[in-house]
Amino acid sequence: MNKIIALSVVTSGLLIAGGYKIPEQSLNSMALGSAYVAHTTDADTAYFNPANMSFLDNSLNYLESGITLAHLPSNTFKGVQYLPGIGGVATSSKSETENLPIPYFHYVAPAMGKWRFGLSMTAPGGLTKRWKSPVQKTFAEEFTLENIELNPVLSYKINEKFSVGGGIRLVYSMGKVYSDGNDLGVPFKREMEGDTIEFGYNLALAWKPTSDIAVGITYRSKIDLDEEGEANLYLGNVGQQYDATVSVPLPAALNIGVSKTWNDTLTVEFVYERTFWSAYKTLNFDYDSAIQPGLVSSFDDPKLKDWVDTNTFKFGVTYEMNEKLTLMGGYAYDETPVPTKTLSYELADSDAHVFSGGFKYKQNEQLNWGVAVLYDLKESHTLELGENENGIVGKFTDGGALLITLGISYKF
């Protein structure tokens, strides 16, 4: 097993804006709930709106590094799972709790005329979903993804009010998929592990019509992850290995932000995000030879996903209390892309309310440090009989995420 990641790993760990995507990749963005596109002021500008690099102090280097500690509470399910040839199986279970460190780094170089260079290294996924109960592990014993994105960017200052920017996205992802139905009397098992490297791009615009109003627009491209490698599939105690391929669309995302500042102390920003999840229609694996006939319906037949484009509405407030201390807070409403009819255990997702807050302390003219906290509160999701094509009938509750970011920035 060396180079294949099931689509459900990528979508559950890397990109789910409604579930496990982590757009907050800095101290400021975490404290503001990623309502951070128009008014970006530190090294993390390279990631959140590279066009704004043009408006930082031209002579300075900007650095920021930090770590986010992610606590993922259990998903709870109570209901019935309908299985072909078995019928309804009552189940009440919880997924495993996860605790994960997620590092980040940002850099902006001094200006070179009207040009400016920046670089970000982030880990916007790297999450895990595990179930140990017999019903759920039949479909999702473990779905794990670790990924790193390297994003070099440039900005070009057109004039004192307008700048553009953009860059290249280099994504490395590594994951594994395990499922095992033997505890339930279903003699199916799969083991898949692998990695891939893919490329995309991002574009940005910054406009400052007045000294107290800023507008920012960013676009991150769709990336097709064309995975290939090997998969081990088991029927009973007999396993076979195959060369396998799958193509995964990572959807494009558009962010539009507007901010207003009063007296150089209070800034309010609103951000609208549109994620184009409708690119994800089906999950379909291809193998170099015919797989065991008894596994075709589970591991070879195309699986309908039929996801939908989503909206996220973000609101952030920044208040400079004094020369040393800055307070931040945010709220967002985040839609899920997963329709009820195709929801599954590896991503039991629902709409979410996101609350965040934090502070930044100016140690001296060069050094700042701070702490931010974000809580992702998932709405419960009930599936009635006949609504779900995967045979799930019942209610998902809990889940969500608690994130704590420790960050430090330096200018020189």
Residue pLDDT tens, the chain, 412 long:
344 433 334 433 333 344 445 778 999 999 999 999 999 999 999 999 999 999 999 999 999 999 999 898 998 999 999 988 888 999 999 998 988 888 999 999 999 999 999 999 998 665 678 889 999 988 888 877 777 899 999 999 999 999 999 999 999 877 778 889 888 888 888 888 778 899 999 999 999 999 999 999 999 999 887 777 788 899 888 888 988 877 777 789 999 999 999 999 999 999 999 999 898 888 788 888 888 888 888 788 888 888 999 999 999 999 999 999 999 999 999 999 999 999 988 778 889 999 999 999 999 999 999 999 999 999 999 999 999 999 999 999 988 889 999 999 999 9
Q: Which secondary-structure segment (H or E) carries 138?
A: helix 134-140
Q: Encode 58-82 in three state secondary structure.
A: CCCCEEEEEEEEEEECCEEEEEEEE
Report whether 11 contacts 348 (CB < 8 A). no
How is residue 401 written in tokens?
């995420």
Concatenated DSSP letters of 180-213: E-GGGT--EEEEEEEEEEEEEEEEEEEEEEETTE
Select from 218, 160, 203 the least CA-distant residue to 35: 218
Select from 46, 39, 106, 47 the least CA-distant residue to 314: 39
Q: What is the β-pairing status of strands 266-275 and 253-262?
A: antiparallel
Give the pLDDT score at 276: 92
Q: Which secondary-structure segment (H or E) carries 368?
A: strand 367-378
Q: Which fold has domain 7-411?
A: Porin (2.40.160)
Give the pLDDT score at 298: 79
Quick one: how far is CA 344 from the chain centroid? 18
Return the half-sphere exposure (C-beta side, CA atoms, 13 A cut-off) of residue 229. Answer: 21
Q: Which long-range contacts (CB under 8 A, 24 or more apart) does 220-223 make?
A: 220/169, 220/252, 220/253, 221/169, 221/252, 222/249, 222/250, 222/251, 222/252, 222/276, 222/279, 223/169, 223/171, 223/198, 223/199, 223/249, 223/250
Report whether 373 contacts 40 (CB < 8 A). no
Report whether 305 contacts 264 (CB < 8 A). no
Return d(Cα 221, Cα 168) in angstroms, integer: 10
Greatest Cα-to-Cα distance within the chain, rounded to the nearest angstrom: 71
How is residue 377 written in tokens?
């509160």
Return d(Cα 359, Cα 326) in angstroms, integer: 6
- Residue 321: CB atoms within 10 A of its CB come to 10
